[in-house]
């Protein structure tokens, strides 16, 4: 037995000490969990959200770790650019911000709801990549986009606009992986199954939706995101990793 540090320990081979990691949608849910796990792996974390992410920042700082928070809407290109200008070197970007939409049935869709879901989930991801990449290309880095099992299998209960938005995120991952590899920027996605966060409250999901027979906890997604964001995932790009309790395989 050696006493070498674990894979993602700050001083281990996947550690992120000295790195700057930006997380959108970090005020709660999977984003908040991811921000905390990135900080535990050694990164200095920049938490962005349309609502004030003070609580996440305080939780990270309470562990003696580094975090900064910004209230920024991912649909606002200039606000994103302004925020990221404060961080000349971004090593890791996690795009987590998204909404679920109001309706699940195509017969009930309305323009405003569809526009909001596509604006935040698709254009918001696009604008976030656009704003962050100039801060990553010189030295390389990692991007992880949070997609969904919905984008792979046509949804569990979500509406068609949410399903389409997540399919688009998966496609964007592949576009970015192809075009940014030359800069040493590796881009992957995760496709979570149903996760116990405020997003799904009251939506009628039940634990039997997957073979593991339970919903995921946010940190079970966060740990996979952190692995993909870490130096340990050095030969992965363009992949969408399933984290869905076996709900969809292959
Ligand atoms: N919960 C699930 O079952 C589930 C399953 C698959 C994928 N996902 C995906 O995981 C990610 C996180 O979801 P969650 O479950 O933690 O949801 P959540 O609703 O708990 O968190 C989403 C966060 O995004 C923020 N946000 C929303 N609009 C924004 C905007 N315009 N600009 C900046 N921030 C904005 C919210 O304020 C919130 O803090 C999303 O991309 C979601 O689509 C969730």
The pLDDT value recorded for residue 3 is 67
Annotated active-site residue in 87, 100, 162, 235:
162
The pLDDT value recorded for residue 104 is 76
Mean pLDDT of 15-32: 97
Ligand 1 atom closest to Cα of 26? Answer: 39
Distances (CA, A) of 119 to 23, 25, 113, 165, 246: 18, 14, 10, 9, 30
Domains and CATH numbers, the chain: 20-243 (3.40.50.720)
Which of 142, 48, 135, 141 has its CA nearest to residue 97?
48
Q: How far is the CA of 94 from the centre of ligand 1 (A)?
A: 12
The pLDDT value recorded for residue 1 is 53
Q: What is the pLDDT of residues 202-243, one digit of tens each?
A: 999 999 999 999 999 999 999 999 999 999 999 999 999 999
Question: What residues line ligand 1, using a CB cutoff of 6 Å?
Answer: 24-25, 27-31, 49-51, 73-75, 96-99, 120, 124, 146, 148, 192, 194-195, 197-200
The pLDDT value recorded for residue 2 is 57
End-to-end CA distance of the chain: 36
Contact between 75 and 43 under an 8 Å Cβ cutoff? The reply is: no
Ligand 1 atom closest to Cα of 100? Answer: 43
Q: How far is the CA of 34 from the centre of ligand 1 (A)?
A: 12
Q: Does the annotation count 162 as an active-site position?
A: yes
Q: What CA–CA distance (Å, rounded) separates 190 from 212?
A: 18
The pLDDT value recorded for residue 168 is 98
Q: For the sheet with 141-146, list strands across it.
A: 67-71, 44-49, 20-24, 92-95, 141-146, 185-192, 240-243
Q: How far is the CA of 54 from the centre of ligand 1 (A)?
A: 17
Q: What is the pLDDT of residues 127-157, one digit of tens each?
A: 999 999 999 999 999 999 999 999 999 988 8
Q: What CA–CA distance (Å, rounded) separates 160 from 119?
A: 15
């Amino acid at each position: 037995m050696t006493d070498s540090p674990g894979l993602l320990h700050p001083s281990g081979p996947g550690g992120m000490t000295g790195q700057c990691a930006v997380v959108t949608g970090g005020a709660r849910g999977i984003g908040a969990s991811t921000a905390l796990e990135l900080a535990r792996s050694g990164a200095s974390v920049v938490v962005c959200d349309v609502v004030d992410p003070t609580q996440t920042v305080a939780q990270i700082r309470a562990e003696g770790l580094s975090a900064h928070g910004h209230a920024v809407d991912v649909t606002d290109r200039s606000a994103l650019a302004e925020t990221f200008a404060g961080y000349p070197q971004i090593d890791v970007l996690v795009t987590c911000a998204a909404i679920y939409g109001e309706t699940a049935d195509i017969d009930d869709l309305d323009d405003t709801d569809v526009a909001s879901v596509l604006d935040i989930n698709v254009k918001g991801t696009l604008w976030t990549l656009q704003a962050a990449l100039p801060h990553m290309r010189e030295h390389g880095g990692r991007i992880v986009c949070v997609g969904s099992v919905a984008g792979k299998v046509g949804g569990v209960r979500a509406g068609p606009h949410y399903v389409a938005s997540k399919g688009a995120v998966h496609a964007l991952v592949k576009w970015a992986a192809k075009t940014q590899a030359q800069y040493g920027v590796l881009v992957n996605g995760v496709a979570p199954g149903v996760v116990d966060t405020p997003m799904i409250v009251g939506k009628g999901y039940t634990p039997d939706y997957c073979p593991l027979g339970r919903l995921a906890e946010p940190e079970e997604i966060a740990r996979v995101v952190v692995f993909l964001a870490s130096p340990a995932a050095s030969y992965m790009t363009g992949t969408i990793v399933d984290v869905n309790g076996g709900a969809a395989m292959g």
